[in-house]
Amino acid sequence: MRDASSGPVEPADPNRRAVGDSAQAKPDEGHVADAVLRQAHADADAVLRQAHVDADALLRRAEAPAEAKLLQAEVDAEATLRRAEIPAAAKLLQAEVDAEATLRRAEIPAAAKLLQAEVDAEATLRRVDVSATMALPRAEIDAEVAAATLLQAKVDAEAALHRAEIPAAAKLLQAEVDAEATLRRAELPAAAKLLQAAVDAEATLRRAEIPAAAKLLQAEVDAEDVFEPFFALATDMMCISSEGSYTHASPSFGCLGYSCEEMLSRPILDLVHPDDKALTQAAYDSLTLEAPSIDFENRFRGKDGAYRWLSWACGLDATGRVYSMARDITESKRNHKALLRAKDAVQDANRELESFSYSVAHDLRAPLRGIAGFSRVLLEDYVEKLDATGKAYLTFIRESAQQMSQLIADLLGLSRITHGELRFDDVELSSLARAVTVRLQNSQPERVVDMLIQDGLRDQGDARLLSVVLDNLLGNAWKFTAKRADARIEFGTRSDGGQLVYFLRDNGAGFDMASVGNLFKVFQRLHAADEFEGTGVGLATVQRIVSRHGGRVWAEGEVNQGATFFFTLHEPASAGPTNGHKA
């Protein structure tokens, strides 16, 4: 007799081993799929890396970096997008498979627990029934029958449970196999697309390489065709350099003793004076597409070993080549140094002359003051002892001494004007002219002169010196119109070829144009001293002041018809007089 409480005995289930074997096979297949996917990725990455290498090589060979970079960017973007598609799709599909498997795995324990609960309940009920029956005076056969019935129920429940587990496990395994197959089917086209994209990119780059290389070769041929005749005709030295060495050189380098072949492939600093190499390298380094040109000077060694000064003008093109032109300025440098030495010598001479002038002026003025003073004493204290001739002689001596003193003062003034420092400011020329006329009118209040001064005349210059100019010109006009009852003096401007020209016109004594060349020379007078007073220094002073202001002065006149003096300020050096004579 078997104990009903001992529970049913589980029979061996041959299907469980099969399910376990299938589950064991699944990871192996998954490893193979992963290996295939990794290999596809590795192949695609290798192709992409090769494509990058080829693209970089093409970019270095071709002279179209912008187009190649754009194409490379498109290839990189496409490859990145395709590489991103595979993990995303795989992750989404794997998530769906995991959810399905989890759901199915949850269904089997739940069904098994429900069925076990029903079997336990049935067994309990039957045990209760058997116990109750045993309490009655019945035969033990009935209890045995009940136990057999209960055992049969357990067996039936176990069989039902096994029958339920097998399809569920099979369905779960099939779902996992289907998901793996779907995943592989998704991976293979994506990997194929990625590989195809890499192949297409490589083919596109190679197709672009041929015309780019052809264009580059044609450009070099065209440049050779242009450069060679141009270099052959050039008198200045011309060359092209790239990456620090000369690639083209004109035959004009022969002036330094070198042939074109001797210059080619030579480093640009090879022949530069050691003291000038840093400056030369800095000049080349400063060339950029934003600042593509520069000028500089350096010393360059000739084939005879002597260094020559060269003036360079260099320009950078988009390919990184530097086009240069050099001119031999050795003689100019020597001449410049000679001019500087001459200038220093002149300045030293001027300083000595100025010192000498002041010394002579001081030494001359003392005896002149003595002559003038003693002459005055003789005329005042001994006038009764002198006859008319003696008085005339003494008067002449005194006036000559005074004139000599004035001459010395004018010469000293001319010296100061020539060597003094200029101070440029805004100058009201109209106001200066009016101030001069007021002084002239006050000196001879009895004279009536029609003065016309243009308003608003302004310019840049040294106010003190420009006042001297107007004082001399207006003073001359005032002096030479002294014998005219209808004296007229005019100060104004006119335009001559776009250049502002000042003029001062009078209707006085005028002058003969045949003598105009002497008009601005020191001590040169066109009128006799007894006719018009003066020392002959005033117009020379005007000429020097105007010249120091970058201008010129000239005059026109006619005897007894008046004269016109013209002057300019800050005039271009190439300008010349349009009429009259330049002083």
Predicted local confidence at residue 2, as pLDDT: 40
Please tell me whether residue 556 adopts helix, strand or coil conformation.
strand
Rg (CA), the chain: 59
DSSP assignment of 228-280, as one string? HHHHHH-SSEEEEEETTEEEEE-GGGGGGT--HHHHTT-BTTTTB-GGGHHHH
Tokens (6 digits) for 65: 């970096």
DSSP-derived letter for residue 466 is H
455 by Cβ neighbours in 10 Å (0-12 / 13-18 / 19+) ranks as exposed
Which residue in the block uniquely carries the two structure tokens 């033990």? 140
Task: Read off the amino acid at residue 214.
Answer: A
Instruction: Assess contact for 279 and 286: CB atoms under 8 A.
Output: no
Predicted local confidence at residue 71, as pLDDT: 62
Predicted local confidence at residue 460, as pLDDT: 93
Predicted local confidence at residue 102, as pLDDT: 64
Separation between Cα atoms, residue 250 and residue 260, nearest integer Å: 6
Which of 529, 553, 374 lies closest to 466, judged by CA? 553
CA 181-183-185 angle, to 5 degrees, is 70
Instruction: Assess contact for 308 and 295: CB atoms under 8 A.
Output: no
Which residue in the block uniquely carries the two structure tokens 């590795």? 42
b/e map 368-391, b = 16+ CB within 10 Å: beebbeebeebbeeeeeeeeeeee
Predicted local confidence at residue 193, as pLDDT: 75
DSSP assignment of 69-126, as one string? HHHHHHHHHHHHHHHHHHHHHHHHHHHHHHHHHHHHHHHHHHHHHHHHHHHHHHHHHH
Between β-strands 450-453 and 488-496, what pairing exists: parallel, antiparallel or unpaired? parallel
Tokens (6 digits) for 414: 């001319």
Tokens (6 digits) for 56: 């970089």
In the chain, DSSP finds a helix count (H) and a strand count (E) of 10, 13
The residues pairing with 246 across neighbouring beta strands, listed in sequence order, are: 241
Q: What is the 3-state secondary structure (H, E, C) of 359-398?
A: HHHHHHHHHHHHHHHHHHHHHHHCHHHCCHHHHHHHHHHH
Which residue in the block uniquely carries the two structure tokens 């779960």? 172
Spell out the residues 6+ positions from residue 338 whose beta carbon is closer than 8 angstroms to its own: none
Which of 35, 45, 79 lies closest to 187, judged by CA? 35
What are the two backbone dihedrals, phi and then psi, of residue 102, each rounded to the nearest 5 degrees? Answer: -60, -45
Which residue in the block uniquely carries the two structure tokens 């032109």? 325
Which of 418, 404, 488 lies closest to 449, judged by CA? 488
Please tell me whether residue 458 adopts helix, strand or coil conformation.
strand
Model confidence, pTM: 0.41
Tokens (6 digits) for 345: 């010598």
Instruction: Assess contact for 158 and 10: CB atoms under 8 A.
Output: yes
Predicted local confidence at residue 376, as pLDDT: 85
Tokens (6 digits) for 271: 């022949």
Using alpha carbons, list the distances in angstroms from residue 24 to 18, 27, 29, 320, 501.
10, 6, 9, 65, 111
Separation between Cα atoms, residue 571 and residue 500, nearest integer Å: 9
DSSP-derived letter for residue 5 is G
Tokens (6 digits) for 406: 């004035």
Tokens (6 digits) for 573: 């050096």
Q: What is the pLDDT along the chain (583 residues), one digit of tens a residue?
A: 344 444 444 444 444 444 344 444 444 545 554 565 566 556 655 545 665 555 455 545 544 555 555 566 566 656 665 665 566 566 656 766 665 666 566 666 656 666 676 667 666 666 656 565 555 455 566 666 666 677 777 767 776 766 766 676 667 767 776 776 676 676 667 666 776 776 677 777 667 766 666 666 566 555 555 567 777 777 889 999 988 899 888 899 999 999 988 988 789 999 999 999 999 999 999 999 899 999 999 999 999 999 999 999 999 998 889 999 999 999 999 999 999 999 888 888 777 777 776 776 667 777 878 888 888 888 888 888 888 888 888 888 888 788 777 777 766 776 666 666 788 899 999 999 999 999 989 888 999 999 999 999 999 998 888 988 998 899 889 988 988 889 999 999 998 888 999 999 999 888 888 877 778 776 666 555 555 565 667 788 888 889 989 999 999 988 888 999 999 998 775 454 444 444 4
State whether the Cα torsion 440-445-451-454 is positive or negative: positive
Which of 292, 249, 296 lies closest to 272, judged by CA? 296
Predicted local confidence at residue 152, as pLDDT: 75
Q: What number of residues does the chain have?
A: 583
258 Cα distance to chain centroid: 35
Tokens (6 digits) for 514: 């045949």
